[in-house]
Amino acid sequence: MASLRWPDGVTCPRCGSDKNSFLSTRRIWKCKGCGKQFSV
C-alpha cells in the first residue's frame, strides 16, 4: 500500500523529509525530521 502512495519512497506530509521509521505495533510512520506520525 505504501508503494502506491509513495512510489519514490515514503515522505513526510508535513515537512517532506524522506527520513522516516515505521512503528509496526501501531502500523504508522513517524518522521525523524519533525516527529509527525502519519499513515498511508
Q: Which domain holds residue 7?
A: 2-38
Q: What is the pLDDT of residue 2?
A: 80
* Local structure of residue 18 (DSSP, 8 states): S
Whether the Cβ atoms of residue 14 and residue 34 lie closer than 8 Å to each other: yes
Please write the tens of the pLDDT for every residue from 11-39: 999 999 999 999 999 999 999 999 999 99
